[in-house]
Amino acid sequence: MTSDAEHSLEIERKYDVDAETPLPDWTELPGVDAVGAPEPRQLDARYLDSADGALGRARIALRRRTGGPDEGWHVKRVTPDGKAETRWPLDGDGAGDTIVVPDAVAAAVAEIATPPFTVLARIRNSRTAYALTSADGAVVAEFVDDRVDATDERTGRTTTWREWELELGPAAPADESAREELFACAEDLVRRAGGVPAASESKLGRALGV
């Protein structure tokens, strides 16, 4: 694996929904003219931490995920502006019972935690993604409908749930107040469909019961 990595900032909202909750009409969002065709993705992620849980205390998630357009090693950090993510390609590394964190990935969290890392949870997700686009075809946001199957590897406890995520895209409003207006409208649509804002800020937290 090379040390080259991709960096991004995720600005998103998450919602808890029931198994049968109908999808909202996302064209009611400001600036959204059309909803793209559903794109199915099968995701399989293992989340890791040091034995003393240092990454979790620092609100940093370290995972190895297969499936989807951004499969790879990810380090996510919660910031005031959103979730800052750094991603490295899998580059042929395996994912058996013992997962070795590549040097470049370990270096990115070295100020917080050092090897050995152990698997905390495995989260498998049957995802359907939709691009929400403007009149000129630019992506205002991506909406994903997730059906999650999670295992707490420390205890063997399994949980399943459904949740939605709405993440701003390149054509989202640049102005913070306009973004908040978009998310407020989204929350109203979600509530009208029968959902609520997510009780947990992450799938890992929910899988581990925190």
For the segment 76-93, the average pLDDT, to the nearest whole number, is 89
- Looking at residue 97, its pLDDT comes to 57
Could you give the angle at the alpha carbon of 207 between the alpha carbons of 41 and 12, nearest 5°? 55
How far apart, in whole angstroms, are the C-alpha atoms of residue 69 and residue 12? 18
Residue 170 — very low, low, confident or very high, per pLDDT cuts 50/70/90?
very high
Q: Where are the alpha helices (DSSP H) in 160-202?
A: 176-193
How far apart, in whole angstroms, are the C-alpha atoms of residue 204 and residue 139? 27
CB distance 36 to 187 below 8 Å? no
| Cβ neighbours, 10 Å, residue 109 | 23
Residue 99 — very low, low, confident or very high, per pLDDT cuts 50/70/90?
confident
- Of 2-16, 48-62, 106-120, 121-135, which gets the smallest average pLDDT? 2-16
How far apart, in whole angstroms, are the C-alpha atoms of residue 190 and residue 23? 8
SS3 (DSSP) at 184: helix
pLDDT reading at 3 higher than 70 = no
Residue 35's identity, in one-letter code, is V
Q: Token pair for residue 120?
A: 């905390």
Residue 169's identity, in one-letter code, is G
Please tell me whether the overall predicted TM-score, pTM, comes out greater than 0.95 for this model. Answer: no
Residue 138 — very low, low, confident or very high, per pLDDT cuts 50/70/90?
very high
- Looking at residue 4, its pLDDT comes to 80
pLDDT digits (tens, 9 = 90+) for 24-43: 999 999 999 999 999 999 99
Mean pLDDT for the chain?
Answer: 94
pLDDT reading at 1 higher than 80 = no
Place of tokens 């694996």: 1
CA dihedral sign, ordered 59, 65, 69, 70:
positive
**Structural element, H or E, at residue 120:** strand 117-133
**Closest among 34, 137, 9, 21 to 84, alpha carbons compared:** 9
